[in-house]
Amino acid sequence: MRLPLVLFLCLCAVHGAAALSHSGFIVDLFCWDKAGHVAIDGADLDTNPEAHSVHCMVDIADCRANGFGLLEKKSDGSYDLKYKLDSAGNTKALEMLDALKAAEGGGRKNVLVHAEGTVGADGETLSI
């Protein structure tokens, strides 16, 4: 069993906004929005987000183009979308995932990230 890969997305300071940090599995929003949160690669993102592959997130055009989010584990053991990344965060996520694919191949799964940033006025968009 491969251990989760913890990646760090950097903090961008925003004056007047409180910084926060969050660790969670990264998912593309195209797959998250599919029926039952079952990704194109077959990963059940509600219960097994660690099975979601880098290949799915970066090589499938709809997945790559629709942005990314960070999941949070709920008390019942399932997962829910905690934050959507803003445009800059999506760019950083793609850079990170592309580099990970180049280093380890698209079959890599179990991608856990630690992000620091600020939450937008909508309460669900994370600026990193």
Which band of pLDDT confidence, cut at 50, 70 and 90, is reported for residue 11?
very low
53 has pLDDT over 60: yes
| E strand or H helix that includes residue 99 | helix 87-104
The residue ranges of every structural domain in the chain are 26-110+119-127
Identify the three-state secondary structure at position 123: coil
Amino acid at 97: L
Lookup: tokens for 102: 């180049």
Residue bearing tokens 């950083």: 92
The confidence score (pLDDT) of residue 8 equals 47
When pLDDT is averaged across residues 2-15 and rounded to a whole number, the result is 44
Q: Are 66 and 40 in contact (CB under 8 A)?
A: no
Q: Are 24 and 113 in contact (CB under 8 A)?
A: yes
Residue bearing tokens 């990646």: 7
Q: Are 9 and 115 in contact (CB under 8 A)?
A: yes
Q: What is the pLDDT of residues 68-107, one digit of tens each?
A: 999 999 999 999 999 999 999 999 999 999 999 999 988 8
Q: Are 93 and 65 in contact (CB under 8 A)?
A: no
